[in-house]
Amino acid sequence: MFLGRCDLKVSKTRKDRIVKIFIHTMLTLFAVVTLIPFYWMIVNSFKSSGDFYSIEKSLIPLNPTFQNYVELFADTFFTRWMGNSFVVSILSVLLGLLICSAAGYAFGVYNFRFKKVIFWTVLSTVAIPEIVTIIPVFDIMVKANLIDKYASLILPYAVSMFGIFLMKQYVETSLPKELVECARIDGVSEYGIFFKIALPLVKPGLGVLGIFLWINSWSSYFWPLIMIRSQEMMTLPLGLATLYADPFDLKYGVLMAANTISTIPIIIIFLFAQEQFVAGLTVGAVKG
């Protein structure tokens, strides 16, 4: 009897241990598979052109070199593309935050006549995929003479349906109605309430939405592909693809250097604001 119980206990802890080992093996396996492309990208950015064509295939650089990075900055438009990407993404984030928070605030705080009609019209168009709007917006940009200009990349991205819903929710949950009433009695104007009281209170929401808007703009490839014509106006994703597509000058080392540097800003933001980053990307649909 006593022995029996003991046996049972031993087998249970043993089973626990096997499960634990299995779980940790899986965790590690997933992590390794996830990190391999990062490893391969970074390692290849330090390979010399000789390493690529040597008969000896290797998983590490044989003659590590910074040559690829030097060439990247000297021979390509890389810095220009990076600058363009920063300008475009920062401006679309600022514009988007302003528009979305103002609209979300209007929906969250006020009752007005066409509120329901406007809200449901907006919501119903979410069912129409973005792809439908691409051709007409291109046509608009051609007619407005905005092709190959920053505006063609900023304006279409400035408004986000998710942004409106998100900011509406934040306004409803983190801005007490009494506070708005009090401020009104104290004689604060409606705009003062929005800028001085509401915006500071919905800051976490602005952070989440900001990251969402930024990553959508920063990593967009299809839109610039249609709107941008000249090398000088390209953003990073398009620039990288152009560099890759050059059949006479395909240098994997230089490309991997470019890839590594363009991934770094996103990794930095990810590491410093992880919670917001995950929230920002899972709040709405991010491509991929």
Query: Footprint of other proteins on residues 47-66 (CB under 8 A)?
Result: 52-53, 57-59
* 76 DSSP 8-state letter: S
Q: How many whole angstroms separate alpha carbon 144 and alpha carbon 227?
A: 12
Q: How many whole angstroms separate alpha carbon 59 and alpha carbon 50?
A: 14
DSSP notation for 63-122? S--SHHHHHHHHHSSHHHHHHHHHHHHHHHHHHHHHHHHHHHHHHHH---TTHHHHHHHH
From residue 92 to residue 111, the character string flagging contacts with other proteins as x (rule: CB under 8 A) and all else as - is ------xxx-xx-xxx-xx-
Q: Which of 11, 63, 79, 282 binds other proteins (CB under 8 A)?
A: 282
Q: Which of 164, 206 has the CB closer to other proteins?
A: 164
Q: Please return the burial class of 67, using the count of CB atoms within 10 Å of its CB with bins 0-12, 13-18 and 19+.
A: middle
Burial 117-148 (b: 16+ CB within 10 A, else e): eeeeeeeeeeeeeeeeeeeebbeebeeeebbe
Contact (Cβ atoms closer than 8 angstroms) between residue 167 and residue 202: yes
Per CB under 8 A, contacts with other proteins among 133-172 are 133-140, 142, 155-156, 158-159, 161, 164-165
CB 126, min distance to other proteins, A: 5
Told to check if 4 binds other proteins by CB under 8 A, we report no
Q: Which of 30, 66, 73, 195 binds other proteins (CB under 8 A)?
A: 30
Q: Which of 9, 12, 40, 176 binds other proteins (CB under 8 A)?
A: 40
The first and second tokens of residue 53, run together, are 């064509």
Q: How many whole angstroms separate alpha carbon 188 and alpha carbon 104?
A: 20
Per CB under 8 A, contacts with other proteins among 186-205 are 189-191, 194
Q: Which of 6, 26 has the CB closer to other proteins?
A: 26
CB 63, min distance to other proteins, A: 15
CB 2, min distance to other proteins, A: 22
Q: How many whole angstroms separate alpha carbon 257 and alpha carbon 47?
A: 10
Q: Which of 9, 14, 24, 196 binds other proteins (CB under 8 A)?
A: 24
Per CB under 8 A, contacts with other proteins among 204-243 are 215, 218-219, 221-222, 225-226, 236-238, 240-241
Angle between helices 252-272 and 78-109 (to 10 degrees): 30
Total number of residues that touch other proteins (CB under 8 A): 100
Looking up tokens 């608009």 gives: 140
Per CB under 8 A, contacts with other proteins among 241-280 are 241, 244-245, 252, 255-256, 259, 262-263, 266-267, 270-271, 274, 277-278
